[in-house]
Structure 1
């Protein structure tokens, strides 16, 4: 596969969208970040070069449906559009994938990895190669989302200031889910702190030790938790407990 060609086609695809829009810009940077993280995970796993390149290509294409979601709804919320399904539709039902890669050898792996990259839980994949790439893209997505949450403004991410986030409480249902080391359903979130905690719960859904090693090397857990000033007294105590729990989980991670 020709990754330079795929990147050129991706840039041409982006010409149909407003690159000056903050959310579009965020997703462009995120796409390239995920592609980079996917390649790094595959390299650390010592996969063959073709598998490394395939991981990078999946990273490049994983969020292609997001741009149309933003154009139509100006939102990342899942109730506006299933961006993963839309991405699969335009790539494989409408044939856009052939613009990116000429051969169809990798189609089923790419299709499944993109379709399932944002699923609440990864299920239903029996083929080892496909499962490996589905896991890689999910880990890479979370890794770059750590960077996004640190570099982009809280206003862009959550629509309010960091101070306003830290003033709110965590819903009891959300905190209990977190304590059970579960991913948090987007539909269950009520407060801005619920949203912030749901992002931190991503750390419970990491598949590979090399991915967790990258999280630890970048000190993402502490840096993310401490980005918000928790002026709500109860929230401040709870977030101290959250930090301890996540750091312990990272230390004990052996998958």
Structure 2
């Protein structure tokens, strides 16, 4: 397994897209951010070299379907395309599947396919093979870890469709708040207000799998920084966001202890 070779193939693939397009650029940055996150989590776990390389390869390819989604629809919306399913189709279907350009050894195909196909599922369920399950969890953690960076540096308006100064307005919808109190990620259909979306960006971290990921979350103080990025003008919303911050940080401390 040669990650350097795979990265070169990926770069050649990207040359078929407009690298100056802001959305393409953001997705490229995110891809390499997820690779970096997988590397950091894996190093903290002291993964063997084979699984470390495999985790980084999956991270490199996990969002390969996004680029065609942007070309066709100029949108990341799941209403336009299931980017994970399309990525799997792109990599594994046909007489000469694209995956063989990234890695010669085809014995990893099923593991890679499942990990990429399931990386954006609301819940990870039904994977019986232990190694496949590990890598499915790894890509989900690495993806969410880089999304912390995204939530702190990218445009709020680009993420939720309203300017940052208005994004914290309004109340948290009951179903969204119920998910938070249950210490669960928020289901997309339950989000109604702009602040619901921001709450869901924080609550997604209840779905992290590894202690090593939580260690990084704590070191970078990601939970508090994401929650505090917006100004919450409604008193009830402001109080609930304070509760959510305290609750999530306490949840993190419990895991780390």
TM class by smaller structure:
over 0.9
Matches within 5 A, 1:57-96: 57-94=57-94, 95-96=97-98
Q: Secondary structure at the match of 1:23?
A: helix
1:72 is displaced (CA, Å) by: 1.4
Structure 2 residue aligned with 1:171 = 173
1:78 is displaced (CA, Å) by: 1.4
Output the CA distance in 2 between the equivalents of 1:74 and 1:168.
Answer: 29
Structure 2 residue aligned with 1:150 = 152
1:254 is displaced (CA, Å) by: 5.0
Output the CA distance in 2 between the equivalents of 1:168 and 1:71.
Answer: 34
Pairs aligned (count): 255
Matches within 5 A, 1:89-168: 89-94=89-94, 95-168=97-170
Output the CA distance in 1 between the equivalents of 2:179 and 2:191.
Answer: 11
Contact residue 23 and residue 156 of structure 1 kept, 8 A: no
1:26 is displaced (CA, Å) by: 1.2
Structure 2 residue aligned with 1:208 = 210
Contact residue 170 and residue 191 of structure 1 kept, 8 A: yes
Per-residue CA distance 1:163-202 (angstroms, 9 max, x = gap):
1111122111111111111221212211111111111111
Structure 1 residue aligned with 2:22 = 22
Contact residue 163 and residue 230 of structure 1 kept, 8 A: no
Q: Does 1:194 align with 2:205?
A: no
Per-residue CA distance 1:143-171 (angstroms, 9 max, x = gap):
00000111111122222211111112211
Correspondent of 1:181 among 171, 180, 183: 183
Output the CA distance in 1 between the equivalents of 2:166 and 2:233.
Answer: 9
TM-score, structure 1 length as denominator? Answer: 0.96
Moved over 6 A (4+): none
Output the CA distance in 1 between the equivalents of 2:208 and 2:46.
Answer: 18
Q: Secondary structure at the match of 2:104?
A: coil
Contact residue 169 and residue 194 of structure 2 kept, 8 A: no
1:33 is displaced (CA, Å) by: 0.5
Output the CA distance in 1 between the equivalents of 2:67 and 2:248.
Answer: 32
Q: Which runs of 5+ in 1 are unaligned?
A: none
Output the CA distance in 2 between the equivalents of 1:178 and 1:75.
Answer: 28
Output the CA distance in 2 between the equivalents of 1:20 and 1:233.
Answer: 42
Output the CA distance in 2 between the equivalents of 1:103 and 1:126.
Answer: 22
Q: Which runs of 5+ in 2 are unaligned?
A: none
Output the CA distance in 2 between the equivalents of 1:12 and 1:126.
Answer: 35
